[in-house]
Amino acid sequence: MYHEINPKHYGIAIEREETLFKDKSQFQDVEIFKSKGMGNVLTLDGLMMTTEADEFFYHEMIAHIPLIAHKNPQTVLVIGGGDGGTVREVLKHKSVKSVDMCEIDGMVIEASKKFLPTISCKLEDEKVKVYVEDAIEFIKDKKNCYDVVLIDSTDPMGPGEGLFTEEFYTNVKNSLREGGIVVPQSESPFVNVNEMRKMYILLKKVFKNVAPYCGPIPTYPGGYWSWAFCSDDVDVPHCHKKVDKERADEIAPLCKIYNARMQTAVFDVPNFVKEIVAGE
């Protein structure tokens, strides 16, 4: 039985069948195991990253909300996301001409290509360029080139720590074209309250509009996750009438979760989430 116990002293248990891949990269322990009921499961340093059975909850949410909120997303950067799930969702948008993915750990990409084929399936697409580099360095000289940047990182405690700093967010912002949007995953509002609070304080220093949106992820801590919608130019879509329904309706049939109504509903968050992100 695989366990991930979170700081609230509870967590998930998954029945394992067999280990498919297990190695130590320069950065972390990488493992993929076959589970009894949730498909193949990727863990990094023993922490749950994704399962074939529930990965769509995360990948649809991080990608489609900002891409539909953007008027005409053509160039997208995915930071992290080595399993390929976020890239797969981004490519569902016809307007997208190129996707750069910057993942520090090549072992995650290679293991995912082999053992998570339904997730990594678009990494070889001709629109995709994969950079096996540290995003902290990668982003420094990128100016005015991306419409949407998705930060599909691990937690702020560990190898992903440098992706949760004011300097990094500022560099990401400078990589945006006019009308650009950035969405980092922003942790569990039920389990990672302090990490989430710190993160929003930083994001609000850098971006004019910052708003959390939330959704369920069965195998993540708390079963409930958040993402931060960040932009200087684009307002949070709070009104159905302002949603580009035509584009949303094109994407919805390709999704298990996403539809036009969710484009606004996910921003209607519980009171306790509002309190966390209210800041200092």
Nearest to 220 by CA among 38, 34, 17, 21: 38
Q: If binding is defined by CB under 8 A, does position 95 make contact with its own copies?
A: no
Q: If binding is defined by CB under 8 A, does position 226 make contact with its own copies?
A: no
Q: How far apart are CA 227 and CA 150, in angstroms?
A: 10
Contacts with its own copies: how many residues (CB under 8 A)? Answer: 43
- Our CB check for its own copies shows the closer of 7 and 179 to be 7
- The active-site residue out of 152, 232, 249, 268 is 152
Q: If binding is defined by CB under 8 A, does position 259 make contact with its own copies?
A: yes
- Our CB check for its own copies shows the closer of 102 and 193 to be 193
* Inter-residue contact 172 to 208 (CB < 8 Å): no
| Residue 119: CB minimum distance to its own copies, A | 17
Question: What binding mask, one character per residue, do residues 168-207 give for its own copies by CB under 8 A, x or -?
Answer: ----------------------xx----------------
Q: How far apart are CA 168 and CA 180, in angstroms?
A: 16
Binds its own copies by CB under 8 A, chosen from 18, 26, 94, 256: 256
Q: If binding is defined by CB under 8 A, does position 278 make contact with its own copies?
A: no
Nearest to 228 by CA among 245, 214, 243, 211: 211
Interface region with its own copies, contact rule CB under 8 A, candidates 128-136, 154-162, 204-212, 221-229? 221-229
Binds its own copies by CB under 8 A, chosen from 216, 232, 245, 250: 216
- Contacts by residues 162-165 (CB-CB < 8 Å, ≥ 24 positions apart): 162/136, 163/79, 163/80, 163/135, 163/136, 164/198, 164/199, 164/202, 165/202
| Residue 193: CB minimum distance to its own copies, A | 12
- Our CB check for its own copies shows the closer of 7 and 162 to be 7
* Inter-residue contact 41 to 33 (CB < 8 Å): yes
Q: Which residue has the tokens 């993915």?
A: 101
Q: What tokens does 85 get?
A: 């799930």
Interface region with its own copies, contact rule CB under 8 A, candidates 34-42, 128-136, 137-145, 204-212? 34-42
* Inter-residue contact 31 to 2 (CB < 8 Å): no
- Our CB check for its own copies shows the closer of 234 and 255 to be 255
| Residue 196: CB minimum distance to its own copies, A | 15
Q: If binding is defined by CB under 8 A, does position 46 make contact with its own copies?
A: no
Q: 56: how many CB neighbours lie within 10 A of its CB?
A: 20
Q: How far apart are CA 176 and CA 166, in angstroms?
A: 16
Reply yes or no on whether 249 is catalytic: no
Q: If binding is defined by CB under 8 A, does position 219 make contact with its own copies?
A: yes
Q: CA dist 109 to 36, 189, 217, Å?
A: 23, 28, 22
- Single-letter amino acid code for the residue at 242: K
Q: How far apart are CA 206 and CA 173, in angstroms?
A: 8
- Our CB check for its own copies shows the closer of 48 and 99 to be 48
Active site residues: 152
Contact residues toward its own copies (CB under 8 A) are 3, 5, 7-15, 35-38, 53-54, 190-191, 214, 216-220, 222-224, 252, 255-259, 261-262, 264-266, 268, 270-272
